[in-house]
Amino acid sequence: MPQKHLVIGLFLFFTATTVFLFWQNERELDPDQGKNWWTFSFTAPEREESLSFTLENHSDKTDFQYEIAVGKEIISKDTFIAKRGEKTIVTPPSIAKQKERVKITVTTGNEKKEIYR
């Protein structure tokens, strides 16, 4: 068998390998492909009075609730919808700088996350 055939064989198998690896990497890096996670953060961390937050949803859940508490006192709560694969910005009214910790809690099902200033 001429060595050229071996080179062609190698090329074909390596091409198939490459296609698979690019496909696999793209699939793994796709935040919504078979994954279930979400994050949330202050939309403008540099502005202390702003309570606006962004929820990036890559989970199956779409119904979320939030609660804003100053110390132990809950000053505001509401529900909102965040679709999978989207960033949802929620903008509660701003409040003046507080001595106590201002905490935003977001829950969906049994999951809960908190951010605070």
Partner 1 sequence: MRPLIDTFVFFLATGILFYLPGWTLLRVFFKKQSLFSPLERLILSFGISLGLIDFLMIIIGKLGIAINIFSLFVGMIATLALLVNATFITKRLKKNETRTEEIPEQTFSFSRRQGTLFIILIALTLFIKVIYLTHAILPTATDLGHHMYWSKLIVTTGTLPSYAKQEIITGTDGIYRLTEPEPIPDFIIGEHLPFAALSLFTGLDFLSAFPVVFLLLINVLSLLTLSILALRFASGMQSPLLPKNALTPQNIALATLFFFGPLFTLASPQAKFVSGGVVGNVIGNFFIPLILLVLYRAFREKRPGFLALGFFLTFVLAYTHHLSTLILLFVLVASMLLYLITHYDTLETLLSSWWKLVSSPGPLLVACLSIVFFFGVAMPTYIETNAVVTAIGTPTKTTRTGLSFFQLASSGGEARIALGLVGLAILAGLRRQRRYAGAFLIGWCAILLIMTLRPQWLFIDIPSNRIVTYFSFPIGLLSAFATITFFATLRNAQSKLRVPGMVILIMSLTLFVFSLGNGSLDNNQTLLPKSKALSLLQTFSASRYLAEHSEGKNILKDHNYIAADSWIKLFFLRDYAYPLSRGFFKRYEDNPNREQCTLLMISIPNTARGEKCYADLDVNFVIINPHFDTTQFEKSEQFSRIYASDDIHIYQRKK
Count, residues near partner 1 per rule CB under 8 A:
44
Q: Residue 87 is which amino acid?
A: K
Q: Where is 60: in which H helix or E strand?
A: none
Residues 6+ apart with CB under 8 A from 85: 31, 32, 57, 58
Residue 117 binds partner 1 (CB under 8 A): yes
Q: Which of 15, 65, 79, 91 binds partner 1 (CB under 8 A)?
A: 15
Decide if residue 71 touches partner 1 (CB under 8 A): no
Distance of CA 73 to the CA centre of its chain: 28
Q: Is 74 in the site for partner 1 (CB under 8 A)?
A: no
Q: Is 60 in the site for partner 1 (CB under 8 A)?
A: no
| 2 binds partner 1 per the rule CB under 8 A | yes
Q: Are 115 and 68 in contact (CB under 8 A)?
A: no
Q: Tell me which stretch binds partner 1 (CB under 8 A): 16-24, 60-68, 71-79, 88-96.
A: 16-24
Give the start-end residues of each E strand in 1-50: 37-42
| CA–CA dist 99, 84 (Å, integer) | 36
Q: Does residue 42 interact with partner 1 by CB under 8 A?
A: yes
- By the criterion CB under 8 A, which residues form the site for partner 1? 1-7, 9-10, 13-26, 28-29, 31, 35, 37-42, 44-46, 56, 58, 101, 113-117
